[in-house]
Structure 1
Amino acid sequence: MTTLPTTTPAGVQRALPAGAPARPRNFGIDCLRGLAILLVIVHHLALPFRLPLGPSLLGEWWPKRLVDAVSFNGYEAVFVFFVISGFLIATRIIERDGELARVELRRFYAARARRILPLLFVVLALLSILAWCGVPGFAPEQEEQSIAGLLGSALSFTFNWYEGRTGWAPAGWDVLWSLSIEEAFYLGFPLLCLWLPRRLLVGLLVLWALALSPLRDLVPASDEVWREKAYLPGMAAIAWGVLAALLA
């Protein structure tokens, strides 16, 4: 069985042997992810169906402020996903390669492709069929949008940019914006790990993470789509996750 060299500089973790079993699932991360999933689902139900808002048992028992907080924080929950994603990806690199600066590009990109592309192709095929059939919520609704445009932007991980230029995408397609932010980050992140000294990389991540709120405020409030789905604020949330992995 082959391994990476076990003699490492101070502060650098030892890499896992090739073929070694992955670390057991993190219960805390799973709970946080489950809560975020629940908030996203409830948010999507609350928008068209006014659930769990009144009339409902929750509407009767809970204060309205609490009901609103549960019902309409799906967007913030997506940023929780970004943080979790950054933490898990950076942790995996450190476990496999010993430190971020030793990331093996071919393996990293191949792993991302295996994880994302097969299911993405299936989802896009289903969305396209429903759009061509004119099903509401899947067929393009904006004048500047087309099925080809939706497909092309999803495959090039520029879906949020496409929405920013053309308006809200159909509800069935709209969920793809967050994937565009994640994958755009992970296309460039390993290169930064290789090119930048550790201190400079960490400093950049800290500045980026701290800029999350200012970056969102840079977008005019009138540009609602781009204010919600711009690249840099979402990537700043991922940077928080990477920093957490470095501190863990």
Structure 2
Amino acid sequence: MREANGVSGNALIASADAARNTGIDLLRGLAIVLVILNHIGIRIPLKKTLLAEFLPRSFLSNLNYNGYEAVFVFFVISGFLIAGNALRRWGDLARIDIKTFYALRFSRIVPCLLLLVVVLSVLHALSVQDYVIDRPGQSLPRAVLAALGLHLNWYEGMTGYLPGNWDVLWSLSIEEAFYIGFPIVCLLTRRVWILAPLLVLLAVSMPWTHSALTGNEIWQEKAYLPGMSAIAIGIIGALLAKRWPVLPTALTRSLIIVGSLGMLAEMFGGRLLWPLMGDSILLLLTVSTMLVLIALQARPVSTLRGFGWLASWGRLSYEIYLSHMFVVYAVVRVYRATGSDIRWGFLWYLLALPLCWRLGKAVARFVSIPCERALRARLVGRTAAFDPRMASSR
């Protein structure tokens, strides 16, 4: 590996890994596992397996059907990390270097996105099952434009679901559309006391912007404003974490307990809470996530015995998120081709999950890390190629 500024590449990677917040990686790891459990569970439900004889069916269903909620957790983490990294890099959101900000986002997001779009386009052209875009009103050129133009969520809302590998890009459309406007708003507002109320207004609008779209299930789930509200909550958390960088141990523990209980209540008690809270239930989830993030930032977790594997999922969450449907489709196809008994379906999870991690690891090693390093060095400069402060951003 080439040297940059007199420091070996391996040393820079080690420095970046050391700078990561293990607690936040664990939270991201949990979120990506829930996404994968959702996509496998749609096809091999855990509640129909032998596990239902030992565990409550409602618990197994919750393991399978919290993928959407997990994406909102990702939105909050994204806002928290990217705003936090911007605050550390520039000291104030009003001093963001817009060119550098966009270059860093481009370097991180675009290489894997382009590779995915190319691979999916080839599979569609070859008429490979599970990868063909064949719904009325949909086409490959239009799907490519939607993916690269950051409106795949809207495209699905208007035309229906795309194949699974395309479908996962709905959240990326929301996220990156937000970050196109974010530095501009920061530079225009210039003051936190102006920016913060705008973020709060966007955050608390979540229940109304989500409920207002009743009648189009896909668009209601994947509309821009609810997802952007979750990102705004993460940014609010980053601003609060900067204001109070160190918290008393008792308060930190309280935030983790309250936040964790709020997240668990939404994910595993949603049916009970829905009659009371309605669409505000997503606000409970996202604010609870923010509280946990503030606590983890104030009191970073260096190691947590027995959970290193989950933290590694968090470190690879972007690569796993974009690539995991290749594994899900392959495993499910083998499961069906072999005529496997649904009662033993849970065993196929044990095959799919490590394969998802392995594929994500390979994508990171051979695509995202070298491409991001090269692009950052070219677009921003050597000092940003392996900036440990940016290591935790998506």
- TM bucket normalised to smaller: 0.7 to 0.9
The corresponding residue for 2:147 is 154
Q: Give, in angstroms, the shift of residue 198 of structure 1.
A: 1.8
Once residues 230 and 134 of structure 2 are traced to their aligned partners in structure 1, the CA distance between those partners, rounded to angstroms, is: 30
Cα distance in 1, alignment partners of residues 29 and 163 from structure 2: 26
Q: Which amino acid aligns with 1:212?
A: M
- 1:5 corresponds in structure 2 to none
| Structure 2 length-normalised TM | 0.56
- The offset of 1:53, in angstroms, is 2.3
RMSD between aligned residues: 1.2
For the pair 1:200 / 2:194, whether they are aligned, the reply is yes
Deviation per CA, 1:17-39, whole angstroms, max 9, x where unpaired? xxxx7681112111110110111
Alignment of 1:129-168 (within 5 A): 129-168=122-161
1:138-167 Cα deviation digits (max 9, x unpaired): 211311000000001101111101111111
User: What code does the residue aligned with 1:228 have?
Assistant: E
* Whole-angstrom distance in 2 between the partners of 1:62 and 1:207: 41
Partner residue of 1:90 out of 64, 73, 83: 83
1:24 paired residue among 19, 23, 26:
19
Map Cα deviations across residues 46-82 of structure 1 (whole Å, 9 max, x no partner): 00122x222232x222111111111101000000000
Q: Does 1:56 align with 2:50?
A: yes
Report the AA paired with residue 149 of structure 1: R
Q: List gaps (5 residues or longer) in structure 2.
A: 1-14, 242-394
Letter in 2 for 1:122: L
**Separation in 2, partners of 1:215, 1:71:** 26
- Residue 171 of structure 1: aligned partner: 164
1:237 to 213, 230, 234: 230
Contact 1:161/1:230 (CA < 8 Å) preserved in 2?
Answer: yes
Task: Calculate the TM-score normalised by the size of structure 1.
Answer: 0.88
CA distance in 2 between counterparts of 1:32 and 1:228 reads: 22
1:225 and 2:242 are equivalent in the alignment: no
| 1:96-143 deviation per Cα after TM superposition (whole angstroms, max 9, x unaligned) | 000111000010000000001111111111110111112232211311
Which amino acid is 1:40 matched to? Answer: V
Greater helix proportion: 2
Once the two structures are superposed, residues 199-218 of structure 1 have per-residue CA deviations (whole angstroms, 9 ceiling, x without a partner) of 12100101111111221001
* Runs of 4+ residues deviating >4 angstroms: none
Aligned-partner Cα distance in 1 for 2:83–2:231 = 10
CA contact (8 A) 1:87 1:244 kept: yes
Identity of aligned residues (%): 48
Aligned partner (choices 31, 34, 43) of residue 39 of structure 1: 34
Aligned residue in 2 for 1:100 = 93
Q: State the structure with bigger RCO (CA 8 A, min sep 6), 1 or 2.
A: 2
Q: How many angstroms apart in 2 are the aligned matches of 1:138 and 1:43?
A: 19
SS state at 2:19 partner: coil
